[in-house]
């Protein structure tokens, strides 16, 4: 079985947020959107960075977005 880092990342986010795993998109659904990037996602952001952003803007990010940023600070590390 071939490892799928993108599907693993999304699966970890789903688990952190308490989303029903049955709602997880399949790799067949995700892959076409990220095929061009050799590494489709960036490493997670440091919690202190997220807290500093929230402090600076006076807004606490929703838990699901905070969880996503902790495991991936965006997509396309080596792409657009």
Q: Is 41 helix (H, G, I), strand (E, B) or coil?
A: strand
- What predicted TM-score, i.e. pTM, was given to this entire model? 0.69
**CA-closest candidate to residue 5, choices 29, 38, 47, 45:** 38
pLDDT digits (tens, 9 = 90+) for 30-64: 777 776 666 677 889 999 999 999 999 999 999 99
Q: E strands along 1-80, which residues?
A: none
Arithmetic mean of pLDDT over the chain: 82
Contacts of 52 (CB under 8 A, 6+ apart): none
Q: How far is it, in rounded angstroms, from Cα 78 to Cα 80?
A: 7
Tell me the pLDDT tens digit for each residue of 13-35.
888 888 898 888 777 877 777 76
């Amino acid at each position: 079985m071939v490892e799928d880092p993108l599907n693993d990342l999304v699966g970890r986010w789903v688990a952190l947020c308490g989303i029903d795993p049955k709602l997880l998109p399949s790799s067949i659904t995700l892959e076409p959107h990220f095929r061009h990037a050799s590494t489709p996602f960036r490493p997670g952001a440091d919690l202190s960075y997220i807290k500093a952003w929230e402090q600076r803007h006076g807004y606490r990010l929703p838990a699901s977005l905070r969880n996503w940023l902790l495991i991936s600070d965006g997509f396309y590390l080596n792409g657009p």
